[in-house]
Structure 1
Amino acid sequence: MPLFGNTFSPKKTPPRKSASLSNLHNLDRSTREVELGLDYGTPTMNLAGQSLKFENGHWVAETGISGGVDQREAQRLRKRNQQLEEENNLLQVKVEVLLDMFSETTAEFQIMKRELEELKSVNRRRK
């Protein structure tokens, strides 16, 4: 036993095994997509006997008919519904403006009526 020597000498660790035993990491991207099947396509599901697929952020019927309504017809109805909602909002704003105008006119009329009555009373006192 050495007095000032190194008594602790750990064994060297064995080299690590390769992270992947396959050579897929050496392949280019397109070959990997073919090998691993990374092209999933559009998500589809079957719900209540109807097949749906996910396109452009919305679920649409694969057959083109959703609940007995043609998909184009449903899209047209959605667009028409939005137009009607916008028209309804515009008409509500117009009604509010007209009510404000009516209130202002009524208030002005009441002020003028009061002034007229005061002028009449002043005129009667002078006579």
Structure 2
Amino acid sequence: MPLFGNIFSPKKTPPRKSASLSNLHSLDRSMREVELGLDYGTPTMNLAGQSLKFENGQWIADTGISGGVDRRETQRLRRRNQQLEEENNLLRLKVDILLDMLSEITAESHLKDKELDELKSVSRRRK
């Protein structure tokens, strides 16, 4: 028989108390929502004196004016930005096409120059 008991067989933990110490389980659903704050509402924040709220995946100025610019102006600027991006993409495509055409013409020119040099050297040998 060991002196200090069997160290490899830990004691069993006592069972937990089944009764909750909180009385929230006795409240009905609407009271629990009020108590626990399950109705969050729309998230809002205040930046530099401007109040913003999060709606439909975007932060929108609470007063309708965002930094001195109204909503219609921001929408107009967004549309203009989109148009400029599309125009920029089109111009990039045109530049790529022009570069491809230039490289093709340059390669053809080098081939013709090489062919011309070969013909000149052949004609010199004949003379």
TM-score, normalised to structure 1, is: 0.68
Q: CA deviation at 1:80?
A: 2.6
Aligned residue in 2 for 1:18: 19
Q: CA deviation at 1:126?
A: 3.2
CA distance in 1, matches of 2:45, 2:121: 84
CA distance in 1, matches of 2:51, 2:29: 32
**Unmatched segments (≥5 aa) in structure 1:** 1-12
Q: CA deviation at 1:35?
A: 4.9
Task: Note the alpha carbon deviations across 1:51-83, whole angstroms, 9 max, x for none.
Answer: 111223332211111111112321331233133
Aligned residue in 1 for 2:33: 33
**Unmatched segments (≥5 aa) in structure 2:** 1-13
Instruction: State, as a whole percentage, how many aligned pairs show the same letter.
Output: 73
Q: Identify if the C-alpha distance between structure 1 residues 125 and 14 changes in structure 2 by more than 3 Å, giving closer, same or farther.
A: closer
- Which is higher, the Rg of structure 1 or of structure 2? 1
| Structure 2 SS opposite 1:52 | strand
Aligned residue in 2 for 1:69: 69
| Structure 1 SS opposite 2:38 | coil
Aligned length: 114
Deviates more, 1:61-70 or 1:48-57: 48-57
TM-score, normalised to structure 2, is: 0.68
